[in-house]
């Protein structure tokens, strides 16, 4: 199961600049999604931040599978 992670905009920028593995999704190459948070409390805390409008949701390509 893929789990959510909590990233700042700086974390996203650093991830995009770092060398990484890629996966093919619908004929396009995309960076592999990094491992996220483990545990119900951490996931609930992230969901609460989105609910309160303090965070946004990022959907990775191919995540709907």
CA–CA separation, 46 and 59 (whole Å): 14
Which residue shows structure tokens 């191919």? 62
The residue segments making up the domain with residue 37 are 1-65
Taking alpha carbons only, the member of 1, 8, 4 closest to residue 59 is: 4
Mean pLDDT of 10-31: 78
pTM for the full model? 0.52
- Inter-residue contact 2 to 39 (CB < 8 Å): no
Report the pLDDT value the prediction gives residue 6, as an integer from 0 to 100: 74
Dihedral pair phi/psi, residue 20, rounded to 5°: -155, 170
- Percent of the chain past pLDDT 90, that is, above it, reads 2
Query: Which residue would you say has higher pLDDT here, 15 or 48?
Result: 48
Query: Which residue would you say has higher pLDDT here, 5 or 51?
Result: 51
Total number of domains in the chain: 1
Report the pLDDT value the prediction gives residue 9, as an integer from 0 to 100: 79
- Inter-residue contact 49 to 55 (CB < 8 Å): yes
């Amino acid at each position: 199961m893929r789990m959510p992670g909590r990233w700042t905009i700086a974390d996203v920028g650093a991830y995009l600049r770092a060398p990484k593995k890629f996966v093919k999704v619908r004929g396009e190459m995309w960076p592999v999604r990094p491992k996220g948070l483990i545990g119900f409390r951490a996931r609930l805390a992230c969901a609460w931040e989105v609910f309160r409008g303090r965070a946004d949701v990022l959907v990775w390509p191919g995540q709907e599978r």
